[in-house]
């Protein structure tokens, strides 16, 4: 059996293996940073090409959205997403980054920066004494839990240190390779996507004043019974325009926040955390503030939709009321026009009657002169018996003919 492949089949199949997980060893240090871009990632790609040249490795293809540079004891991964690019570096042995990376400047505005120290188990997984001093020395509340079926522990305070990085420590009891790499990736994605989702929170908070103003305008316009409908409809039209502008302004950011939130919740569930006595799990610690912020964004989005629907319904009701009043006015106008038409018809009928008399009179006079001129002196004597009968018959005939002619003309002009 043979068949012709769809032109996009190869690229769609390649998505299955796109963005592969980076394996990690114990001990190691991993850093992940995500930076927003507004040029489609062109500057980020150019920076990656420059890094590849500095490290002496092959540059990425022009169409690729991810690229991995592998060196002895070091792995660098670059990924381009819709509105940001991410950089991941994993160094074996927990050593400092190579000089080529230490002085490398990443383009864009950083929204997420995470550093994870992976250390071997030196004691019980649930004891803080095994955690590196960078995290344990801070006088802050730590979140921790067991993961990987109890074979590893995660510790963090979710706060940025003096270096601007959010530090995690993973204690590994035999978890290494791809399994450890998947754990690192989940933490990186949790940090990146929760920060990307929170970009919508300041916007939602700043829109409260505009939404309150529009809500008052709509409510006042509908409750005011003294203002004419045209003014109220104009107010509602301006409110609808402002609400549409708010929806256009927030549609992408709020939609992205919903998508990012779903990814964060999915990755948190994939950790399958086991509670450590005396400490909050990462999912509890993180969502305590993340969820309220996301609910604020969702509430703002729903409020914009609700306000737009209310304005639309109010405008529809007002237009219906205006249409009814206009229909009543039109009905009254039609009745008045019908009455005037009836009066005009009566006047026309009266005029037609006078017209019959006038036309008949002049026609009779004209015909009488013609007949008297053609018939001879016998008809000139209007006092004679014969002349009187001729004039009477002529008058009657003229009146009948003129009446019939006007009636026929009126019938032809009457609409069918």
State the pLDDT at residue 36.
94
Most confident of 11-25, 186-200, 225-239, 398-412: 186-200
Spatial CB neighbours of 211, under 8 Å, sequence gap ≥ 6:
246, 300, 303, 304, 307
Find where tokens 């005029």 sit.
Answer: 351
Q: Is the pLDDT of residue 347 over 90?
A: no
Strands 28-36 and 66-71: unpaired
Average pLDDT over residues 34-40: 91
Least Cα distance to 158 among 170, 168, 145 occurs for 168
The whole-chain average pLDDT of the chain stands at: 80
pLDDT at 356: 65
For 59-104, how does the pLDDT look when each residue is reduced to its tens digit (9 = 90+)?
Answer: 888 888 889 998 888 899 999 998 999 999 999 885 556 555 666 7
User: Greater confidence, 384 or 73?
Assistant: 73
Residue 164's pLDDT band (cuts 50, 70, 90): confident
The pLDDT of residue 294 is: 94
Domain borders along the chain are 19-176, 200-330
What is the chain's alpha carbon radius of gyration, rounded to the nearest angstrom? 46
pLDDT band of residue 131 (cuts 50, 70, 90) is low
Indicate the pLDDT class of residue 31, thresholds 50, 70 and 90: very high
pLDDT digits (tens, 9 = 90+) for 217-273: 888 877 776 666 777 778 888 888 888 888 889 999 999 999 999 999 999 999 999
Q: What is the pLDDT of residues 142-156, one digit of tens each?
A: 888 899 988 998 988
121: nearest Cα among 176, 172, 183: 172
**Residue 287 pLDDT > 50, yes or no?**
yes
Q: Please determine, for residue 310, whether its predicted confidence score (pLDDT) is greater than 60.
A: yes
Structure tokens at 352: 């037609």
Q: What is the pTM of this model?
A: 0.74
Residue 130 confidence (pLDDT): 46
């Amino acid at each position: 059996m043979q068949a012709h492949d769809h032109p996009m089949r190869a690229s769609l199949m390649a998505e299955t293996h796109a963005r592969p997980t980076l394996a990690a060893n114990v001990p190691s240090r991993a850093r992940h940073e995500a930076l927003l871009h507004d040029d489609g990632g062109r500057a980020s790609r150019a920076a990656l090409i420059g890094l590849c040249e500095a490290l002496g490795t092959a540059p990425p293809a022009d169409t690729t959205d991810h690229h991995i540079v592998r060196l002895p004891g070091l792995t660098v991964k670059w990924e381009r997403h819709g509105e940001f690019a991410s950089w991941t570096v994993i160094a074996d042995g927990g050593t400092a980054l190579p000089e080529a990376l230490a002085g490398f400047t990443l383009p864009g505005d950083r929204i997420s920066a995470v550093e994870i120290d992976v250390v071997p188990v030196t004691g019980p997984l649930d004891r803080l004494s095994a955690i590196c001093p960078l995290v344990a020395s801070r006088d802050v509340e730590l979140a921790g839990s067991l993961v990987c079926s109890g074979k590893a522990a995660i510790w963090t305070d979710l706060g940025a240190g003096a270096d601007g990085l959010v530090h995690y420590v993973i204690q590994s009891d035999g978890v290494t390779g791809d399994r450890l790499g998947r754990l690192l990736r989940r933490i990186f994605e949790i940090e990146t996507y929760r920060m990307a989702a929170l970009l919508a929170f300041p916007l939602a908070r700043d829109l409260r004043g505009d939404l309150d103003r529009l809500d008052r305008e709509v409510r006042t316009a509908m409750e005011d019974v003294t203002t004419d409908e045209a003014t109220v409809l104009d107010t509602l039209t301006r409110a609808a325009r402002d609400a549409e502008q708010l929806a256009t302004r927030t549609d992408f950011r709020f939609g992205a926040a919903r998508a990012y939130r779903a990814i964060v919740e999915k990755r948190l569930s994939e950790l399958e955390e086991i509670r450590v006595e005396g400490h909050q799990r990462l999912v509890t610690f993180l969502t305590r503030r993340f969820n309220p912020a996301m609910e604020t964004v969702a509430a703002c989005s729903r409020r914009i939709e609700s306000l737009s629907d209310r304005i639309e319904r109010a405008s529809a009701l007002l237009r219906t009321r205006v249409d009814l009043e206009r229909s009543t006015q039109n009905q009254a106008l039609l009745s008045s026009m019908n009455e005037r038409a009836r009066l005009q018809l009566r006047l026309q009928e009266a005029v037609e009657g006078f017209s019959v008399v006038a036309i008949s009179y002049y026609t009779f006079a004209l015909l009488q002169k013609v007949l008297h001129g053609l018939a001879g002196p016998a008809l000139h004597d209007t006092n004679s018996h014969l002349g009187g009968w001729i004039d009477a018959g002529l008058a009657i005939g003229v009146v009948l003919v003129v009446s019939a002619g006007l009636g026929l003309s009126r019938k032809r002009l009457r609409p069918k």
